[in-house]
Structure formats: structure tokens, C-alpha cells
Amino acid sequence: DSEAFIPRPGEPVALEPIVVPGGVEGRSAAGRRYPWHKNTLLCGELPDEDRRKKCAALVVHADIDEAPVVAESLGRVRELVDRPNILFAVVVQDDMPCADSPVPILQGRAPSAATTYLIDRSGEVVLETFDLPPMS
């Protein structure tokens, strides 16, 4: 068992390794290629190959029931950050009915246990996390 972690205000504390009994080691997608755009397009518009090669991508994996809200949120994020060199997409594991979307919604599997991937222009995962990453 780990020792109790109760820091005093303003006092630095050295952290010992944190061990989770029975934990399963995961496989990271960082540094690996993730061809997210090769998944099956369900709705929305997939950027053409020329644009994909010039842009980074923020790809969020979501459950089917969350996908429309995630797509709307990413569409709004795209408007707010106003960075035309970043593409946004949602990927779901199973097929779903889908009429239209501000960002492409595709069907496929995540390359690791994470839900969100930041992919550089070469198609390599540079950041994987859960939920949305910090944008600055």
C-alpha cells in the first residue's frame, strides 16, 4: 500500500512510485501512425488527401449515443480556435444512423485505450489522452 499523501500548504513533497494492484499494462499509440481517415465515413465531409497531408488532426473516439454531441462540440471548437491547419473528426466503433455533421463521423476502432488523438501532418500520433486535450 502507498503512504498517505497529505501535503502541507506551500511544502514540496517527493512522490514515490504509484502502484495500482492488478493493473493491466496498456499499449500507447504515441509515435505510431494512425490512418484515421481510412475508417468508414458515416456522415459529414472527409477532407481530401491534399488537405489531410497539410493539416494536423484531432480525432475523438466516442460512444454512438455521444457522437452527435461530440461532433457538434468539435465543430464549435473548430470555429472558436480558428485554426484551418487542424482537422477535427469523431470515430465510433459501431455503425450508426447519421444524417449530417459539422465534422466527419467515421466507424472504426481506437489504436489504444485513449479516446482522443492529436495526429501530426505525417499521420503520427503526437498526443493521446482522454476527453479533449488542452488547446492553446
Express each pLDDT in 84-120 by its tens digit: 999 999 999 999 999 899 999 999 999 999 999 999 9
Provide the pLDDT for residue 45.
95
Provide the pLDDT for residue 22.
77
Distance (Å, whole) CA 52 – CA 76: 20
Provide the pLDDT for residue 54.
96
Q: Which residues lie across from 13 on neighbouring strands? A: none
CATH number of 36-129: 3.40.30.10
> Nearest 5 degrees, angle CA 45-CA 51-CA 52?
80
Instruction: Check pLDDT > 70 for residue 2.
Output: no
Distance (Å, whole) CA 115 – CA 121: 19
Q: Are 81 and 112 in contact (CB under 8 A)?
A: no
pTM score: 0.80
